[in-house]
Structure 1
Amino acid sequence: MSKKVELFIPCFIDQLYPETAFNTIKLLERAGCEVMYNAEQTCCGQPAYNAGFWDQAKEVGSKFLNDFSDTDYIVAPSASCVGMVKSGYDDLFTNTTEHNRCRSIQRNIFEISDFLVNILKKEYFGAELVGTAVYHDSCSALRECKIKEEPRKLLSHVGGLEIVEMRDQETCCGFGGSFAVKFEGISSAMAEQKVKNAQAVNADYIISTDSSCLLQLQAYIDKHNIPIKTIHLVDVLTSGWANI
């Protein structure tokens, strides 16, 4: 029997990486899930929350709570947005009329690697991608969602791909939402450090489960014409399927 999954596609992916959204559906369906998508969904409220506009974040968050079921699994290809719902919503909805519904959704929402490995117990999807890669631990994945080994387990089964660790593996890429705008110099220097650490281990790819981090790093890569490509975990796990 297939698991029923509601798909949450964050703003970043919807606007900038739509192919990752479609690949997320393909991946979940290959894992045996029945995927549902509510086209009325918008944002989780994280940008407003991080900027300190909690009233506006609560308004957006309330819509999120109403757009999704409190009984089905909710899966997103973004640890950042999942982390917002799992922890940020504590600040917005604790002891409100939406308290119980919020808690149910918090229990049911998962970042995709966490869902595949820990809920579905599936790690191999027949993907192929030739090259050497580093996995970038996003702050949200590592610190809010407690995801560390799950993406690495999935990537270990990708044919032709060698995963290596880089220096300062758990250091931030410098994006941090509005941080990258307000503190451009510091943000760029952090991106530079991350990319140089990837270069030092001769990586062809930088892989992550957060598109915002990939956007930050790819901007630095493009500006300096560096021969490294950033790629979302989902896009890696659906690579080479036509060759199977």
Structure 2
Amino acid sequence: MKVALFIPCYIDQFFPKVAIATLQVLEKVGCEVFYPVNQTCCGQPMANAGYASLANSCNKNFIQNFYGFDYIVSPSGSCVAHVKEHLHYKPREKEAAIMRNNVYELTEFLTDVVKVVNVGAYFPHKVGLHTSCHGQRMLGLSSMSERVGPSFSKPEQLLNEVKGLQLMRPARVDECCGFGGTFCVTEEAVSVRMGQDRIRDHAANEVEYITGGDVSCLMHLEGILKRQKSRIKVVHIAEILNTKWSIK
């Protein structure tokens, strides 16, 4: 299984440990992983700001770097959702269409493609799962509470098999954290209040960590937690799945 590792620019710059953990988890489950060294931003910031047309060079570069792999896997639901929805480049539209179908968020790839749930991880802590909007509502990683139907969550499937981990469900399981890309800049006060509400919900469960599949959401929540001088830490799900020891 030839897998290309797609690492969003903000993870590359600020959270490289998440990228390393993703690589090691994929190798642990038997994937042959490649990292295209000339990859850059996928273009999501431009699209979020209403300038999707300016992301054309990003699309061209993405195709040049990632075309030809069996799968493209990323530890960021929002970036994967962007590629699935917006990867277009007229000179290579046929390749773009193939790639839109071959790009996966990490937990989706593990559960649906590799079909593995227990990766042999050990994390003896109380953990709250933040369900990110892009992953839930665009990628279908989990069910939505407002819809009638069977409840499911691919990240929860993986976390429930982590030895020692006690998964705590918040009261409002699929509420937005308020990050929302450019929303946290244009509507700062609303964004912060939404994040505070999310943290309050998790804190009521006395969690030690908040995890999720989008570092952008975790970064937003971490900023609020630090300003509150909270003992709660954030950790990406890839880091949990990759560790057999407590993160200090």
Counterpart residue number, 1:8: 6
Q: Distance in 2 between matches of 1:55 and 1:88?
A: 10
Instruction: Provide the rounded CA distance (Å) in 2 between the counterparts of 1:140 and 1:133.
Output: 21
Matched, 1:68 2:58: no
List per-residue Cα deviations over 1:149-204 (Å, max 9, x = no partner).
11111101111111121022111111111111111100100000000000111111
Which amino acid in the other structure matches residue 105 of structure 1? M
**What is the number of equivalent residue pairs in this alignment?**
236
Q: State the match for 2:120 in structure 1.
A: 126
Within-5 A mapping of 1:104-115: 104-115=98-109
Distance 1:80 1:68 in 2: 18
Query: Partner of 2:54 in structure 1?
Result: 56
Letter in 1 for 2:120: G
Tell me the alpha carbon deviations over residues 75-104 of structure 1, each in whole angstroms, 9 at most, x when there is no partner. Answer: 101111100011133xx55xx333211110
Counterpart pick for 1:37 among 35, 38, 41 = 35
Q: Percent identity?
A: 36
Checking the alignment, whether the CA contact within 8 Å between 1:204 and 1:229 is kept in structure 2 is: yes
For residues 110-130 of structure 1, give each alpha carbon's deviation from its aligned partner in whole angstroms, at most 9, with x where no partner exists.
Answer: 001111111001111211111
Q: Secondary structure of 2:124's match? A: strand
Q: Alpha-carbon deviations, 1:11-41, whole Å to 9, x = none?
A: 1210111011111111000000100011100
> For structure 1, which segment, 142-151 or 210-219, has the greater mean C-alpha deviation from structure 2 after superposition?
142-151
Unaligned runs of 5+ residues in structure 1 are none
Partners of 2:92 and 2:79 lie apart in 1 by: 19
Distance 1:203 1:183 in 2: 28
The whole-number CA distance in structure 2 between the counterparts of 1:23 and 1:69 is 23
Q: Is the 8 A contact 2:3 2:69 kept in 1?
A: no
Q: TM-score, normalised by structure 1?
A: 0.93
Query: Aligned pair 1:177/2:171, yes or no?
Result: no
| Cα deviations by residue, 1:135-156 (Å, 9 ceiling, x for unpaired) | 1110110011110211111101
Q: Cα RMSD (Å) of the superposition?
A: 1.3
- Quick one: which amino acid aligns to residue 17 of structure 1? F
**Aligned amino acid, residue 202 of structure 2:** A
Match of residue 197 from structure 1: 201
Q: What is the CA–CA distance in structure 2 between the aligned matches of 1:108 and 1:230, rounded to whole Å?
A: 29
Question: Is contact 1:42–1:64 with CA below 8 Å preserved after alignment?
Answer: yes
2:147 aligns with none
Cα distance change, pair 71–129 in 1 and its aligned pair in 2 (3 A): closer
The residue number in structure 2 matching 1:227 is 231
Unaligned 5+ segments in structure 2 are 143-152
State the 1:54 CA deviation.
1.8
Q: Residues 133-212 of structure 1 correspond to what in structure 2 (within 5 A)?
A: 133-148=127-142, 149-212=153-216
Residue 131 of structure 1: CA displacement? 1.5
Distance 2:162 2:232 in 1: 19
Q: TM-score, normalised by structure 2?
A: 0.92
For residues 205 and 86 of structure 2, the distance between their equivalents in structure 1, rounded to whole angstroms, comes to: 35
Q: Following TM superposition, where does structure 1 have runs of at least 4 consecutive aligned residues deviating by more than 6 angstroms? A: none
Letter in 1 for 2:210: I
Give the conservation status (yes or no) of the 8 Å contact 1:156–1:163.
Answer: yes
Contact 1:134–1:198 under 8 Å retained in 2 = yes
The one-letter amino acid paired with 1:206 is I
- Alignment match, 1:100: 94
Supply the AA of the counterpart residue of 1:101: E
